[in-house]
Structure 1
């Protein structure tokens, strides 16, 4: 069987999953306040600008964006189907979650970005280092460049290590949001993220070991 044939079935399955996620997101985005309250106008029920809900949605959208970027990079640098399946899962799941969070910010009448420091809603002070790693767990520009230059097993191990650190920090952020958020949307999403990312951390630990590398 050719490599193209081996990849075709996962790609079809992934395409179906993307379609279902897209339809769900469209349905979500159609839910708007009544005509008397424009979608872009803050209401009394919308989370405050300084809330954990708004801060988490903004920061995790950025965090997820880099995870999706790394998954796309490794997808094109290995033929290993286990790593490619994991990359597809991360792309589909985190791109969808990112869209949901940006959609909620819009419905709440909140900007999608802020000049305030990242993770301020958690009581942390994060000073940008200028290396691309805007928050804990995020890869630096140099690490991303090294991942782009790698191929095969080297790319797989680099990706798995970077994504493990990324998921650990993401799960910590989600834990804080699930405890501090005031909206059901953020609490439920954050709780799901904790379970999903911790499960993938365990999976990636096994995958690193299978490749004879140290976590």
Structure 2
């Protein structure tokens, strides 16, 4: 029982911090969402308690079209301060505000059409055409994903600042992530590029 003390205290601190940050960021993100007319702006900020090893946060929509911002437990426990959590939250809400989920789906559809069309024109069999379609969708979805991440970093910086947190301090979260570098068709831009756009945006605010 004695060993559970520090763990319980850590969990309580993380829970209090998460609730406080969500209460601060959610109304700011919803106001920006309504300002730009981004559709459903009733954000649901949720905790994903499914087993996972890597810290992760993501944006999706539920069956009613409500935007959901989900954080898994490893991410909630890995942030070093409220600024990092606020920045990640601002970043993920920005994906919805900027319509990235729909844009990625459209990019995937275009890639699928082009690759499967080329395969069909070359006389490939049905299985090869299907494989080309899946590969094309994957390529299409990643083609502009780096740009979308930087756009979300930029708007996320503004949302973080308006919520009362420091996005430059918050962006230090990236320093601890494995740097994807600048790989061709990688899904995320280099960490240095992300931190730089946060600094520039904050300085101009």
Sort the TM-score into its range (normalised by shorter chain). Answer: 0.3 to 0.5
| TM-score computed with the length of structure 1 as normaliser | 0.34
| TM-score computed with the length of structure 2 as normaliser | 0.36
Instruction: Answer with 1 or 2: which has the greater Rg.
Output: 2
Whose relative contact order is higher, 1 or 2, with alpha carbons under 8 Å and at least 6 apart?
Answer: 1
More strand by share: 2
